Amino acid sequence: MKPQPSRTPLATLLGTCVLVLTLVVTATALTALVRGPGQGTARTAQGRHWVNTWTGMPQLTEVGNLPPAPFTGEKSVLADTTLRQTVRVTTGGHRLRLRFSNAYGDTPLPLTSVTVALPEGGRAGTGGIVPGSLHRVAFSGRAATVVPVGAQVVSDPVDFELAPGSNLTVTAYTAQGQPDLALTSHPGSRTTSYLVNGDHTEDPDLTGATHVDHWYLLSDVEVLAPAATRAVAVLGDSLTDGRGSTTNGNDRWPDQFFDRLQSRRATSGIAVLNQAAGGNRVLNDGLGPNVLARLDRDVLSRSGVSWLIVFEGVNDIGTAAATPDAQRAVADDLTAAYQQIVVRAHAQGIRVYGATLLPFGGNAYDDGAGVREAARQRVNAWIRGPGHFDAVIDFDRVVRDPADPSRLRAGLQVGDWLHLNPTGYGALAAAVPTDLFGEK
């Protein structure tokens, strides 16, 4: 009998093909899991990622900073209200998305419709928009969304041309409003917003609208940027939030620092995120949660952050008792807190720069006997010490009065001997070495 040809080579070949196909399918599935939803192959190949380009630290709105009547009622706020706001982005892009926060709400926050546009004349704090620039914003493909209690909602990406350092108009309408008075906002906007009843999200101008100098609900703008684009975040208090700066002028020190970065080709792609609030403290809650509590939310979870500037602590010193024991304790606690910030940021690959605290002689924080000033000097000596921060930014040196280092230079402050004017904020911006923001 003629022997039959062996089937082993064919079986082996088929088995190999099945194995290769299985590996290809598995690899494809793993790639999809790593990329996550909405990240297509082309976008990944282009090496782009989402980077925060503007942010406003969420706070619980104090009664005096709630929208005026009729936009605040006895048991609800912003019912049947259109809210138009402008924000100045830092780095630009061709695609953006928004984040709305209900961090301090006790009830869900319904958003009925949202649009983005370019503001009239490119200006901050205007109620008009550039014709033809308006785009509707969706959330998981829907026009409306609800922000759960304590949460935030991220919009779908919007194709939108956004130049670096430009202003963006965001208009939101909520038919129901928030059914309580626990509203999330950033009161220290130094930027004019507009309120009007009814849905006017597509109107070219909000004629007859009520003006308020606060931001509400909106917490972040992100852009899809090249892989090399990164951000520097700033933790601060009212000196970084811009008290004493010009309303609608965008001349806080982080704004002026961003302008410097933009003027240099090597740093022109860096975003600046101002995570500051008036009255904020490092160790204890005040206007907003303390820095140690908000570090993850405001810095470590933000998109694309590579550097962090810590410029905060004067309110901790100023609100502690003016006794040697109390001030010694607060100085020790501040330096321990700074160490915690560095450790936690380094774990995320973020470099941390410490900024020295400014003098407050002549302000209400000045106790006359110099006890708080001694604590400030002690904290600043630690900040300047080697091995604590990755670098030091000596703000104190550039704005203190050479004739009396416990006080600010008179021409740089607004009259309260604590907060700076736009020229003073410019001095801070000029003191930040731009070479700190090169390759890591």
Longest dimension (CA), the chain: 116
User: Is pLDDT above 50 for 23?
Assistant: no
> What average pLDDT score do residues 398-422 get?
98
**Chain mean pLDDT for the chain:** 91
Find residue 296's DSSP bridge partners: none
The pLDDT assigned to 8 comes to 41
pLDDT in tens, 127-145: 999 999 999 999 999 999 9
Q: Which of 165, 38, 5, 169 is nearest to 98 (CA)?
A: 169
Distant-in-sequence, close-in-space partners of 398: CB < 8 Å, separation ≥ 6: 427, 428, 430, 431
318, two tokens: 């100023």
Q: Which amino acid is at 312?
A: E
User: Is pLDDT above 50 for 18?
Assistant: no
| Burial class, 365, CB count within 10 angstroms (exposed 0-12 / middle 13-18 / buried 19+) | buried
The pLDDT assigned to 327 comes to 98
User: Helix or strand or coil: residue 45?
Assistant: helix
259, two tokens: 């302008």
End-to-end Cα spacing for the chain:
76
> What average pLDDT score do residues 375-395 get?
98
Model confidence, pTM: 0.89
Q: Where are the beta strands (DSSP E) in 78-157?
A: 81-88, 93-101, 109-111, 113-117, 135-137, 145-147, 152-154
Find residue 376's DSSP bridge partners: none
pLDDT in tens, 339-361: 999 999 999 999 999 999 999 99
The pLDDT assigned to 361 comes to 98
Q: How confident is the model at residue 271 (pLDDT cuts 50, 70, 90)?
A: very high
pLDDT in tens, 304-352: 999 999 999 999 999 999 999 999 999 999 999 999 999 999 999 999 9
DSSP letter string over 286-327?
BSB--HHHHHIIIIITSTTEEEEEEE--HHHHHHS-SSHHHH
Least confident of 14-18, 51-55, 348-352, 360-364: 14-18
User: Is pLDDT above 60 for 253?
Assistant: yes
The pLDDT assigned to 9 comes to 44
Least confident of 66-70, 93-97, 270-274, 285-289: 285-289
Spatial contact of 299 and 353, defined as CB atoms under 8 Å apart: no
The pLDDT assigned to 438 comes to 83
**Strand ranges of the sheet holding 193-197, from the earlier edge strand across to the other edge:** 135-137, 113-117, 167-174, 81-88, 193-197, 210-212
Spatial contact of 233 and 115, defined as CB atoms under 8 Å apart: no
Distant-in-sequence, close-in-space partners of 225: CB < 8 Å, separation ≥ 6: 48, 49, 50, 51, 53, 91, 93, 269, 304
User: Is pLDDT above 80 for 272?
Assistant: yes
**Distance (Å, whole) CA 87 – CA 190:** 10
Q: Which amino acid is at 298?
A: D
pLDDT in tens, 200-249: 999 999 989 999 999 999 999 999 999 999 999 999 999 999 999 999 99
140, two tokens: 């998981």
